[in-house]
Structure 1
């Protein structure tokens, strides 16, 4: 059976948070402070995995951050962390370890609009930026996403593994092959000790 890739979390969210903290004064002159603070509040109230709610909407959840460890405790599907190097590096590394390729749709990778705009401001690729998320390889992605959604976790089917070694990104009609991962995008901006940058 075909094995699908489910992404939990948001592309580049952890890296964006780090950039906001480091360059808040600069960013607040360019971006609305409400939107900058919405990311900080989202992490505090919902964690990196919780479904994102607009700061100007009235449907904010009163729940605290999702308990990601307990939610995934009963999973039998293969789970892999998305961390340094972003989601593209994580998918590439996972597929290589399994001896297969993949095909993903870039537009299906969940991202928060303000994070996209901040990455554009710094000239960074959000899909190669420091993240806090998980990849699930499963044959039943609909049930997995339904379960995660019911538990307040942002989850999206973004593609599938393939029998060929090709690692492909589809963006509308265009096809791009994923190259060997490079350094995390955040190091283009933050010149700090790797451990301090990645773990804070």
Structure 2
């Protein structure tokens, strides 16, 4: 599995920085790209289970997180200090990479990630984890003012939320609401592989 920013000796440092206490923001919809691939491959099964209007919602959200980030960073006014795009392995792989690349600990609440309802329903049907599902057009961001950044993203039509914060050390803490869920594990194979995709 591809691991962003990882070289032969481990993670390579890249431009940008994360300071302890900075907020972590997720922009995009976790697992949406993977759910779209499942829809293409399993259309017959899904059309028997879900209404056509429900499945059409998967294709209606159109925005470019990369274009927004390119423009925001080019203007030199962006509060973003570091970022990592999600992709294969979903948002959990991106969190692992983000922490490793910038050598920082994380405290993240999985319930705060924007996830499209249709993606959740498809994952439940096939017993998949939406946080390990392919998540193209999504990015993790670090900034001092997460709420301001979320407003800017939503104004551009991009789902976004503050999902946690950076911490000293290397611990990658996961939560489900107020309950501590444990620590982030090394990236697992993408959930699409369970369906042969």
Q: TM-score, normalization: structure 2?
A: 0.81
Q: Aligned equivalents of 2:180 and 2:166: distance in 1?
A: 19
From 44, 47, 60, the equivalent of 1:28 is 47
Q: Find the partner of 1:110 among 110, 114, 118.
A: 114
| Equivalence for 2:3 | none
Counterpart of 1:62 in structure 2 is none
Separation of aligned partners in 1, 2:144 and 2:45: 45
1:130 aligns with 2:134: yes
Deviation at 1:10, TM superposition (A): 0.6
Contact 1:14 1:48 in 2 (8 A): no
State which of 177, 180, 189 in structure 2 corresponds to 1:183. Answer: 189
The structural deviation recorded for 1:67 is: 4.5
Q: Which residue pairs with 1:55 in the alignment?
A: none
Deviation at 1:111, TM superposition (A): 0.3
Specify which of 144, 149, 153 is matched with residue 148 of structure 1: 153
Number of residues paired by the alignment? 172
Deviation at residue 84 of structure 1 after TM alignment: 0.8
List per-residue Cα deviations over 1:113-132 (Å, max 9, x = no partner).
Answer: 11101001111100011002
Counterpart check, 1:5 vs 2:24: yes
Which 5+ residue runs of structure 1 have no aligned equivalent?
Answer: 50-65, 192-200
* 8 Å Cα contact 1:71/1:151 also seen in 2: no
Q: Equivalents in 2 of 1:71, 1:17: separation in Å? A: 27
Once superposed, which parts of structure 1, at least 4 consecutive aligned residues long, lie more than 4 Å away? Answer: none
Residue 80 of structure 1 contacts residue 135 of structure 1 at CA under 8 Å; is this kept in 2? yes
When residues 158 and 29 of structure 1 are mapped into structure 2, their CA distance, relative to the original with a 3 A threshold, is: same
The answer to whether the 8 A contact 2:39-2:46 is kept is yes
Describe how 1:159-170 pairs up with structure 2 within 5 A. Answer: 159-170=164-175
